[in-house]
Amino acid sequence: MRDKFFGGLDFGTSGARISIINLKRELKYSNSIPYEYGFKDPNSWSNSCEKLLDSLPLHIKSNIVKLAISGTSGTLIACNLRGDPIGEAIPYDQACNDNKNLIESLTIEEDHLQTPYSSLAKALKLIDKYGKNILLRHQSDWITGWFLKDWTYGEEGNNLKLGWDLIKESWPKSYFNTSWVKSLPLIIKSGKIMGQIHSGLAERLKLNKKILLISGTTDSNAAFLAAGLDKEEGLTVLGTTIVVKKIINQPIKEKGITTHRVCEDWICGGASNAGCGILSKFFSDLEIKELSRQINTSTKTYINLIPLNSRGERFPVNNPFLEPILSPRPVSDSLYLHALFEGLARIELKGWEKLYELTGSLPKRIVTIGGGSKNPQWRAIREQIINIPIVSCKKTTSFGTALLAINATQ
Query: Phi and psi of 192, rounded to 5°?
Result: -105, 145
Mean pLDDT value across the chain:
93
Tell me the β-bridge partners of 69: 9
Q: Using one digit for the tens of pLDDT, what is the confidence trace for 315-333?
A: 998 888 999 999 999 999 9
Distance CA 382, CA 249 (A): 27
Task: Give per-residue burial for 281-317: e unless 16+ CB within 10 Å, then b.
Answer: ebbeeeebeebbeebebeeebebebbbbbeebbbbbe
Nearest by Cα to 258 from 221, 309, 214, 312: 221
Instruction: Render pLDDT for 14-73 as a digit per residue (tens, 0 to 9).
Output: 899 999 999 999 999 999 999 999 999 999 999 999 999 999 999 999 999 999 999 998
Segment 92-120 mean pLDDT:
89
Tell me the mean pLDDT in the region 109-138.
Answer: 93
When pLDDT is averaged across residues 360-367 and rounded to a whole number, the result is 93
Beta-bridged to residue 261, according to DSSP, are: 266
CA-to-CA dists, residue 161 to 137, 220, 288, angstroms: 12, 14, 34
What pLDDT was estimated at residue 170?
A: 94
**Mean pLDDT of all residues in 173-183:** 95
Q: Is 261 helix (H, G, I), strand (E, B) or coil?
A: strand
Least confident window among 240-254, 348-362, 384-398: 240-254
Provide, rounded to the nearest whole percent, the portion of the chain with pLDDT above 90. Answer: 80
pLDDT tens column, 253-277: 777 788 888 877 888 899 999 999 9
For residue 191, is it left (φ>0), alpha (ψ between -120 and 50) or beta? left
- pLDDT tens for 57-74 read 999 999 999 999 999 989
Q: What is the pLDDT of residue 110?
A: 82
Name the pLDDT band for 410 (thresholds 50, 70, 90). low
Average pLDDT on 376-405 reads: 95
| Structural element, H or E, at residue 379 | helix 376-386
Q: Which residues lie below 8 Å from residue 166, measured CB to CB, with a gap of 6+?
A: 156, 160, 251, 259, 260, 261
What is the β-pairing status of strands 5-11 and 64-71? parallel
pLDDT score recorded for residue 169: 93
Domains and CATH numbers, the chain: 5-219+399-406 (3.30.420.40), 228-395 (3.30.420.40)
Rounded average pLDDT over 206-217: 95
Residue 370 has what pLDDT? 87
| Mode of pairing for the β-strands spanning 76-79 and 233-238 | unpaired
